[in-house]
Structure 1
Amino acid sequence: MEDRFSVHGGGTVGRDERETVARGARLFEAAQAVVVDHGRAAEAVRAALKPLHDAEVKRELDAIPVARLQDVTEGRLRLGSVEKSGLRSVGEVLEAGPYRLRQIPGVGQRTVDQMLAAARRLSEAAHETVAVHIDVERPEPRTTALVMALHVLAEAGPDARRAVDKATVLARRLDPLLADARLALGRIRMLLAGQEKKARAWAAVAGIRSLVDEAERAGLPGLFAQASVDLLRGPATDIAAWVDFELRSAEYYSLLAEISGRQPDVAAAEGFLPDEIAERVRTQHLDDTHRRVSLRGYQAFGARFALAQRKVILGDEMGLGKTIQAIAVLAHLAAVGQSHFMVVCPASVLVNWTREIEARSALRVTVLHGPDRHLAFADWKARGGVGVTTFDALRGFPAPDRGEVALLVVDEAHSVKNPKAKRSQAVAGWAERCERALLMTGTPMENRVVEFHHLVRMLDGDLADSLGEGDARAGSVGFRKAVAPVYLRRNQEDVLTELPSLQHTDQWEELSASDAEAYREAVAAGNFMAMRRAAYMAPEKSAKLDRLREIVQEAGENGQKTVVFSYFKDVLGVVREALAPGESASVPLFGPFTGSVPAGRRQRIVDEFAAVPGPAVLLAQIQAAGIGLNLQAASVVVICEPQIKPTIEHQAVARAHRMGQVRPVRVYRLLATGGVDERLVRLLETKTRLFDAYARRSAVAEASPDAIDVSDTELARRIVEEEQARLGLADERLTAAE
């Protein structure tokens, strides 16, 4: 150190040192500025949110009867005289206050104190649980103010959040160094300082130089400057903010949850994993360098789970952003030096996956599909990036060397639960050779719990062997605990407080004479599938079709888009004829969207449907459109007939009622009385309860998985026989055609 001071004239500083400290000071000011600018934007959101939240809390408290105060105090209060005085709700009790309450005959000070204490406890609970829903159908000044405040942060995007995080860390490191380096800026002070202070000053200058050089290499000065500009730029108009909210509502609600601190229950967001696994996941680093989208807390946890556990099943309910979580994992692995990744998905969502990766990350995407797929595969192997292919195409590609592919993502993984299927074997081979595997499915089990074991076996054979049948029979809690090392599932109701309401309505219709005749003929022939669609075979007198027209007409009058689902192509043809725009009707009609429509065309149909500025109708085969596509432009869903598997209906509805939906969703299921529909509805209710017990969280599941181990063919045969007996056709030939 003596030599160094002699170079600088006994410890004085030169131009380089002063410039270094000046650069550090400028960077510190820029970092502080972006943090302040973000804080100001966030405070504007909180200020706009408060009156809306207070109003929601008041509505909640006004709806709670005074009698609930007895429950809170375990029955100690006597409230008869309070109710007689005209105070009917907890909200009115709080508004009345202690003076007015004390004026009620028979109410003493102790009762007033207890009553208000209980009311405040309910008020505190309401403040914690009540969520603000932004109604796009009825915008008013207060919600417009909130949307405009959120628009500033949404437009700034994830780069602003990244800038704030990096600025906070950088400012914390620079602050003490700049304080110590100030001594080196004064010639006299430096000459008079002791050796220890001089040494600290020179060390601070060196530290500042290192931090500034590192920040400039990472492009932080530009990041901070751009973020501040974006955060100070308001929306052009309130209309622009509302339009952007409709397009990107999921991002707006994510920001709202972050700023308000109203995050979902931690245990629910973490899928109720055992503590030791949850803690390991929490400490997993998640690099966002190559990611262009912000994550919600539960989504970040899901990505960390996949990284920490290496080979997993992400079984989040439909609409929670499994694709975004997968992209976050891909982006992290790319940031830490990995080069090759593979996504396998149904052909119907190939285009969607490609779009999402390109839009949400900086990763290179190669589509491995179509006649040139082998050339594309060779290019992907040579250059790296994310290969996106289909289950069938994957079978034609050579399995990778061990460690060559950093991550295999399998979308709609329930499609490969049958270990005897070639597509399942191909996926299993790749999963074994890849360093990490992420199987994604909102429906990990449809008919048999045992099929779930086959997915687990692709990831961890020892764990699959250890499960056995006993874990399932022990009930869902034991089952979920046993598979926790590889399985994470969260439900919408637990983590998406802002999701609009979902209302299911079963529309029961009496068969017309023509419907009944078609149904009887189908039963006599033993044709199960004909029985299911008999209600549409005489369109001019079809009771179901009449009701469908009414629903679509009502939705159109309200400016709403409708998706009509059926299992059968010919039913969709009948519906199209019935809904086809004529001279008196002008609602655009799209589809039918069936399994035979090419993958690229499917996405275009959905895009065209969403782009229509007013009402529109999309006709879709339920097993084709119920997978992977986003239909949140629609707020009315019609299911033409009940399905054999409850998961098919769940998937279809979740295409509309998902993160990003801004309107309440109404689901109508068209049912005919007295026949196959009634039997299928009872069957669906039983299957749904069992699905909830094992695939969802539940503490009271004792049913055996054997109860859902019934094939579709056997079910069809059973229903046909029962219907033939009911209609007096038992002597007819009994065949259950599929």
Structure 2
Amino acid sequence: MGRGEREAVAEGVRLHDAAQAVAGDHGRAVEAVRAALKPIHGEAVEQALDAISVTRLKEVTEGRLRLGDVEQSGLRSVRQVLDAGPYRLRQIPGVGQRTADQIVAAAGRIADAVRETVAVHIDVDAPEPRTTALVGALHVLVEAGPDARRAVDAAAVLSALLGPLLAEARTAGGRMRMLLAGRAKRERALRAVAEVRGATEEAVRGGVPELLAQASVDLLRGPPSDAAAWVDFELRSAEYYSLLAEISGGGPDPDAAEGFLPDEVAERVRGQLLDDTHRRVSLRGYQAFGARFALTQRRVILGDEMGLGKTIQAIAALSHLAAEGQSHFMVVCPAGVLINWTREIEARSKLRATPLHGPDRQEAFADWRSRGGVGVTTFAALSGFPVPAGGELGMLVVDEAHYVKNPQARRSRTVTAWSEHCERVLFMTGTPMENRVAEFRSLVRILQPQLAEAIGDRDGAAGAKAFRRAVAPVYLRRNQQDVLTELPTLQHTDEWEELSASDEAAYREAVSEGNFMAMRRAAYAHPENSAKLDRLCEIVQDAAENGLKVVVFSHFRDVLAAVKEALDGARGPGGGQVFGPLAGSVPPVRRQQLVDEFAAAPGHAVLVAQIEAAGVGLNMQAASVVIICEPQVKPTLEHQAVARAHRMGQLRSVRVHRLLATGGVDERMVRMLKNKSRLFDAYARRSAVAESTPDAVDVSDTAMARRIVEEEQARLGAGTVPAPPAGHP
């Protein structure tokens, strides 16, 4: 064997060793999670068994057991029965060996069921050594991200391929071995060398060695500190819980996670592969199923309840199609979420996002058409673009699809025209369709006309599950309580908006005057044309459709007044009472009365509150949606306000929406406060001092205000006016 063959084998050995190392590093990281999880899960199981009465054993044995003597002995729960064991049970008068064995066996079956279903909840407000160890172990895998998963998959393929080949090629590794080997063995060795060379060259072309090397580094790198791991957990709790469910084998009920689809549809969806090459984040199981549903069924409605990640499911489907070679996609959405869509696509995938909105939208459309990627536009702007030829568009995504429920509306006709020229269409809406059969039929008529005619009013009247089964080929909806087994969680969304013309005028005036506080609330100066207020009403509308309570926070009393007027008026969501404003001028007793009335109101309701007045001391567990109208100067204010809703007693996840305007004071504040907020989270948030004293972490508001005003005056070319100290609402 010559030098070339020896080098080929050596390269194959190095690649095989790297693959083995990645597999080992990943296996150890997973085992670290399992080891940290075991005592926490065990305690959760014991607590659950403690809460199950011994009388439930009758259900397991269909009433055949007589448990009176056992209960009289003081054994009240299934856990106590298991702890007692058959020997102690036999000491109870009236309990023989057969009965004792039956009791223990029944208790064991209940315990097995509890072990499979009990969910571990990580309490960020009460960290202790065991949960800290679990969060730290999970942090390694979360930080490694989807690339580590791809590396492990590639390592498994390489190990299986190269292992046998290298064993065959070993004969060719030395001159003496080749001389002593028979002819057939020499030929097999040379063929193996050729295959090793081919496999390694293909791996190098695909960047596999670099992928394996980076994965090993990432899997061996722990969190910089326990505090840093906890901060990251709060920021990305969904990814942590997703990994935890995957490793532990736990998770939601499969039927619920699959939207109670009939077996034939669910089986087809499960068989759909999902390429994650262009995706930057991991998916929960139900989210992966949703993306597969969109790909398999091709023209569908994704109707998941708000907070379940419809956007990332759509991005996952687009990323898969991009990996298959599709180049052009279009997202149509309300103007209020256009910026969010653009940012989410860029943050969560490798796809190029192009906003097709504003005065330059035709030039942007031409650029998108020539370069490809994801065009993001509004319902109004879509009508100004030429309908694509068949096959040109990989997928059309329509967010808030209930906007096109009226077939006579211009936007409905435009979306219909685009849909007719696109093989794959994904409608998204958080509005439940079970009781809106006429609206649902209108949407389905755009997607699958033949199915629309088969949907009758009686399908909705039969109940949610029956309705979903009837419309399974086109509709998938999951509820939070069915699929988020670790409830309650806290989910943050930054809602980026472009200022309207009147917003921009008010903002420029505030900048020229050097008025920092006026700059912060300029987006609400003209409520009738406020982009932020429009988005706020949309969020409240979505909450109303799902029967959820909402708390709206602002630093400014005039902003709260504008919010209340908008929600009370014709622009408001309708249905559901609006309470407040709860401001500093309201006596403490009355504040608590307002909160109590808000909590007692049936169904959907809104409480508007000044953030300083309501951020400390009041509990608002009734709310599961929190809206913050503008970024706050101190991170403590936002943390404490959110904590009013997300705390002990909250039974649903809490969704936090922070309304932000692009390109001005909001963006500068978010950037400047980011590091201070993380520092605060890491060292102060969990202390009693931070809870009771909002000023415990001073971010120097006056200096920040002056700097922001000066930078904005320079950007807008306004006169330089000294920025006054931060004023009052």
Q: Choose from 617, 622, 646 the match for 1:635.
A: 646
SS at match of 1:608: coil
Aligned to 2:223: 235
Q: Choose from 268, 278, 281 the match for 1:293.
A: 281
Q: Choose from 408, 414, 437 the match for 1:426.
A: 414
Aligned to 2:316: 328
- In 2, Cα distance between equivalents of 1:636 and 1:105: 47
Amino acid at match of 1:245: F
**Shift in Å, 1:495:** 2.1
| Mapped contact 1:344–1:394 kept (Cα < 8 A) | yes
RMSD value, Cα: 3.8
**Structure 1 residue 262 corresponds to structure 2 residue 250:** yes
Aligned to 2:479: 491
Alpha-carbon distance change, 136 to 150 in structure 1, aligned in 2, over 3 angstroms? same
Q: Choose from 635, 646, 649 the match for 1:612.
A: 635
Deviations 1:590-632 (A, max 9, x none): xxxxxxxxxxxxx9966726982345698xxxxxxxxxxxx99
**Structure 1 residue 167 corresponds to structure 2 residue 155:** yes
**Alignment of structure 1 residues 124-163 onto 2, 5 Å:** 124-163=112-151
Alpha-carbon distance change, 409 to 529 in structure 1, aligned in 2, over 3 angstroms? closer
**Shift in Å, 1:340:** 0.8
Aligned to 1:217: 205
| Mapped contact 2:434–2:460 kept (Cα < 8 A) | no
SS at match of 2:283: coil
- In 2, Cα distance between equivalents of 1:608 and 1:580: 11
- In 1, Cα distance between equivalents of 2:264 and 2:420: 26
- In 2, Cα distance between equivalents of 1:114 and 1:232: 48
Q: Choose from 387, 395, 406 the match for 2:394.
A: 406
- In 2, Cα distance between equivalents of 1:501 and 1:31: 36
Structure 2 residue runs of 5 or longer lacking an equivalent are 491-545, 551-571, 618-625, 658-684, 686-729
Structure of larger gyration radius: 1
SS at match of 2:389: coil
- In 1, Cα distance between equivalents of 2:302 and 2:338: 19
| Mapped contact 1:70–1:76 kept (Cα < 8 A) | yes
| Mapped contact 2:333–2:378 kept (Cα < 8 A) | yes
**Shift in Å, 1:416:** 1.3
**Structure 1 residue 54 corresponds to structure 2 residue 77:** no
Deviations 1:491-520 (A, max 9, x none): 22332211218999999xxxxxxxxxxxxx
**Alignment of structure 1 residues 521-532 onto 2, 5 Å:** none
| Mapped contact 2:582–2:594 kept (Cα < 8 A) | no
Amino acid at match of 2:646: S
Deviations 1:665-722 (A, max 9, x none): xxxxxxxxxxxxxxxxxxxxxxxxxxxxxxxxxxxxxxxxxxxxxxxxxxxxxxxxxx
- In 2, Cα distance between equivalents of 1:655 and 1:538: 19
| Mapped contact 2:549–2:605 kept (Cα < 8 A) | no
Deviations 1:367-426 (A, max 9, x none): 111222222112111211111111122122221122111111111111211111111111
- In 1, Cα distance between equivalents of 2:7 and 2:138: 39
Alpha-carbon distance change, 336 to 533 in structure 1, aligned in 2, over 3 angstroms? closer
Alpha-carbon distance change, 325 to 312 in structure 1, aligned in 2, over 3 angstroms? same
Aligned to 1:29: 17
Alpha-carbon distance change, 611 to 60 in structure 1, aligned in 2, over 3 angstroms? farther
Deviations 1:45-104 (A, max 9, x none): 000000000000100111111111122222222222222222111111111122222222
Alpha-carbon distance change, 413 to 636 in structure 1, aligned in 2, over 3 angstroms? farther
| Mapped contact 2:388–2:418 kept (Cα < 8 A) | yes
Deviations 1:554-594 (A, max 9, x none): 9xxxxxxxxx9967xxxx8xx55xx4758xx8879xxxxxx
- In 2, Cα distance between equivalents of 1:69 and 1:21: 63
Please, what TM-score do these two structures have when normalized by structure 2?
A: 0.71
Deviations 1:437-461 (A, max 9, x none): 1111122427631210111111111
Amino acid at match of 2:449: G
Amino acid at match of 1:461: P
| Mapped contact 1:535–1:543 kept (Cα < 8 A) | no
Alpha-carbon distance change, 610 to 127 in structure 1, aligned in 2, over 3 angstroms? farther
| Mapped contact 1:610–1:633 kept (Cα < 8 A) | no
Aligned to 2:524: none
| Mapped contact 2:547–2:604 kept (Cα < 8 A) | no
| Mapped contact 1:587–1:615 kept (Cα < 8 A) | no
Alpha-carbon distance change, 67 to 537 in structure 1, aligned in 2, over 3 angstroms? closer
Aligned to 2:297: 309
Aligned to 1:435: 423
SS at match of 2:127: coil
- In 2, Cα distance between equivalents of 1:153 and 1:127: 24
Aligned to 1:675: none
SS at match of 2:250: coil
Alpha-carbon distance change, 504 to 54 in structure 1, aligned in 2, over 3 angstroms? farther
Amino acid at match of 1:342: M
Aligned to 2:55: 67
Deviations 1:274-326 (A, max 9, x none): 33322322222221111101112222222122112221111222222111111
**Shift in Å, 1:653:** 7.0
Alpha-carbon distance change, 441 to 255 in structure 1, aligned in 2, over 3 angstroms? same
Higher RCO (CA 8 Å, separation ≥ 6 residues): 1
Aligned to 1:692: none
Judge which range, 213-222 or 92-101, deviates more.
92-101
Alpha-carbon distance change, 605 to 191 in structure 1, aligned in 2, over 3 angstroms? same
- In 1, Cα distance between equivalents of 2:573 and 2:426: 36
Alpha-carbon distance change, 392 to 655 in structure 1, aligned in 2, over 3 angstroms? farther
SS at match of 2:386: coil
- In 2, Cα distance between equivalents of 1:450 and 1:614: 45
- In 2, Cα distance between equivalents of 1:466 and 1:530: 32
Amino acid at match of 1:240: A
| Mapped contact 2:575–2:604 kept (Cα < 8 A) | no
Structure 1 residue runs of 5 or longer lacking an equivalent are 1-12, 508-527, 555-563, 589-602, 619-630, 638-649, 657-662, 664-738
| Mapped contact 1:366–1:376 kept (Cα < 8 A) | yes
**Shift in Å, 1:127:** 0.4
| Mapped contact 1:318–1:655 kept (Cα < 8 A) | no
Alpha-carbon distance change, 260 to 381 in structure 1, aligned in 2, over 3 angstroms? same
Please, what TM-score do these two structures have when normalized by structure 1?
A: 0.70
Alpha-carbon distance change, 111 to 610 in structure 1, aligned in 2, over 3 angstroms? farther
- In 2, Cα distance between equivalents of 1:359 and 1:505: 29
Q: Choose from 94, 97, 103 the match for 2:91.
A: 103
| Mapped contact 1:85–1:104 kept (Cα < 8 A) | yes
Amino acid at match of 1:455: L
**Alignment of structure 1 residues 568-607 onto 2, 5 Å:** 575=608, 579=610, 581=612
| Mapped contact 1:102–1:112 kept (Cα < 8 A) | yes
SS at match of 2:112: helix
SS at match of 1:67: helix
Aligned to 1:372: 360
SS at match of 2:300: strand
| Mapped contact 2:237–2:489 kept (Cα < 8 A) | no
- In 1, Cα distance between equivalents of 2:6 and 2:39: 50
| Mapped contact 1:536–1:544 kept (Cα < 8 A) | no
Aligned to 2:166: 178
SS at match of 2:374: strand
Aligned to 1:252: 240
Aligned to 1:279: 267
